Amino acid sequence: MTGSVPPFTPPADAHYGPADLTLTPVGEAPALRADAARNRTRLLEAAFELMGSCGAAALTMEAVATAAGVGKGTVFRRFGDRTGLLIALLDHREELFQGAFLSGPPPLGPDAPALERLHAFGPATVRHDRDHHELILAARTDPRRNHTVPAARLRLTHVTMLLRQAHTDGDAALLAHTLLGYLDTALVHHLICEQSMPVERLEAGWHDLVHRMVPEPVAPPGSA
């Protein structure tokens, strides 16, 4: 995705509840009927395809309506305005990623040891946020929200849990903040796009950090 992205302001009445280890997207949406949910997904998929080909700056309500084959009024009724559309699109993509690390296959998902999941989480997050950096950075008009939106709180809860399960010797919550700081979308975008740093180097740096925070268990003598 390329192009200049105009910032947007989150709605003033956005509600952010407590984080837990369930699928918790960036914003909360009311439950929809099956047909309404399908139509919403169709609109979001059309919007994501437009972003991939034209960039977020070209993402308008009219363009999404045309791509989805519906009237412009349908898009406005579903999302309210462009801000609502962008937030909903970010929710949708984040929810798919959450599903991968909460209930997907190993090593990212739950059927793997905590340390393996922790190692897998960094590269998966780097690649996910790299692919959606325009959308994520467009939402960052208030730095205080970076740590309070449900998506960020869920990631923090998840990494904290993995650190504790992997038996870190340090303060798991603070170490989780440190690890997530390394994965900051703006930093990753700067290093990859402006410093031409290979993704593989960032992934190697993640593994090094994890090793420093949670040393590999030492096998007892004679177990080999």
What secondary structure, in 3-state letters, does 49-101 show? HHHHHHCHHHCCHHHHHHHHCCCHHHHHHHHCCHHHHHHHHHHHHHHHHHHHH
58 with 148, same domain: the answer is: no
Q: Does residue 23 lie within any of the structural domains?
A: no
Query: pLDDT, tens digit, for every residue of 14-46?
Result: 333 333 444 444 444 455 577 777 888 889 888
pLDDT at position 42 is 87
63: containing domain: 35-80
Counted domains in the chain: 2
Q: Is 150 helix (H, G, I), strand (E, B) or coil?
A: helix
Query: pLDDT, tens digit, for every residue of 106-145?
Result: 999 999 999 999 999 999 999 998 888 877 776 666 666 6
Tokens of 173: 């919550």
74 with 146, same domain: the answer is: no
Q: Does residue 185 lie within any of the structural domains?
A: yes
3-state percent breakdown (helix, strand, coil) of the chain, nearest 5: 65, 0, 35
Tokens of 142: 């208030």
Using the 3D structure, point to which of 27, 50, 80 is the last residue of a domain: 80
CATH code for the domain of 70: 1.10.10.60
